[in-house]
Chain A
Amino acid sequence: MSAYRLDYLDQLESEAIHIMREVAGQFEKPALLFSGGKDSITLVHLALKAFRPGKFPFPLVHIDTGHNFPEALQFRDELAATIGEKLVVRKVEDTIKSRQLTEPKGKFASRNALQTYTLLDTIEEFGFDACIGGARRDEEKARAKERIFSVRDEFGQWNPKLQRPELWNTYNGRISKGENVRVFPISNWTELDIWNYIKRENIALPSIYFAHERTVLEHEGQLIALSEFIQLDDTDSIVTKKVRYRTVGDMTCTAAVESSASGIDDIIREITATKTSERGETRIDDKVSEAAMEDRKKNGYF
């Protein structure tokens, strides 16, 4: 390899920084959607590289479902405070009240779908014209199809059959009033790339990503953390296991994986060897139907 050749991680990093700066250069009111998960933490790390010593040209925005892991919330607040950037939190709970939304029922009733309402309201409240998100194309088959600058109509809807051409690294962020763009700087990263990058850059993560003892409900092969948000039945099998989280979503729809990986190297080893995909192993919400993600995106989801 010549001295002037970039390793793939450096290439991905540079591409992501370039995309973030395009957002800063092209939009009036961008936002970075921050969930407290590893992908959005990586985004924040990339934003530091893109904009320091200046301030971020956008606030961090968290749509709080009320079902988050407390560790992730604490991490969110500490991170925002450490880097001294603005954090906007909007709660699904409030949207449910103000818009009289109906909460889903059932054993693992998830507010995942309701998030979209809060997100769209928040976009409207602040007049956000671009929202940076940490979605990756390797996650899911509908995401594999999405542009890096993904235009949404005034209802937040994605139209997968009518995406704009997107050539080279030239991003067209022009939109009509009411529309907004979802921007995905780490589109081309895989789960393993993220972990290798976190290791290389020594990025701090919430503790739940590492193996810890937890009391979980064993349900159809998946391990769901006990919390006040899920309903227990007498027949449920409750066990205490050493687990870690591979993704961090809501407590109601994210499953833990059994693991003794206490450090980043152990995690990378496990992810390299795994035969199950990230979402397949950890997300309950994708199992609803074959096109669950596509349908949610069409409705304004990230």
Chain B
Amino acid sequence: MFKFFGKQKKFSASQFKQKEVPEKLYNKCESCSEMIYYQDLDQNKHVCPKCGHHFSLKAYKRIELTVDLGTFREFNKLMKTKNVLDFPGYMDKLDKASKQSGLKEAVITGYGDIQGKRCVICVMDSNFMMGSMGSVVGEKITRAIEKSMKHRLPLVIYCASGGARMQEGIVSLMQMAKVSAALKKHSEMGLLYICVLTHPTTGGVTASFAMLGDIILAEPGALIGFAGPRVIKQTIRQELPEGFQSAEFLQDHGFVDKVVNRNDMRKTLYRILKIHGGE
């Protein structure tokens, strides 16, 4: 059944760790200002032990926390964008983003097992140009959906995005249509799609694949919305209510199935996958 893994090299977990600056010994919680010893934070999956604030996670770290050790096989790792609109300075900006984040683009995609349940998993990273969706993000996610159709595997997408990528203009907008149409085919085949909304999920990602999961989970406190709070404030010229556009707000308004603490996420994903059958 899984002979398609044959051709690919095996990676150990440490090999797909993102190149990054050495972690600080202590991190200050953005929410409660507590100084937390890095190892304590890491052990708690980057959730503040004092107040429960969910720190932002890099994509490979997220993979490490989600899939079984050594099971991740990345697709299209090197895919890079072209400057479709000849936007001045875009290529430099991409280079900078790449150096800063250790990523080639704002999403990584691949196969992975969650407690032995094989799936296709996509993880966005807001450290790369705000997790914006340009043609590479759209293409990588579409190809991942196609892989999951080809092998009839469930699909898990972790969203984190500021929206469409301005530098790719209208081409970026069209990625919303491309991914949504692929998800429709996926759905028609009776396959499971779970999305996990993390901080922040806004704009074109919210108006496409983030809202199309059969089951939509979200991390506590994540900002989720179509328009960003700044834009809304400008439009209505008043302060936004407390908690507006938080994961909990979306659950209350019927757009998120369940807010799940990061420490329970892997278990929750496993249970959903188990209930939907498969190996």
Q: Do A and B bind each other?
A: no
Q: Chain B residues in contact with chain A, CB under 8 A?
A: none
Q: Chain A residues in contact with chain B, CB under 8 A?
A: none
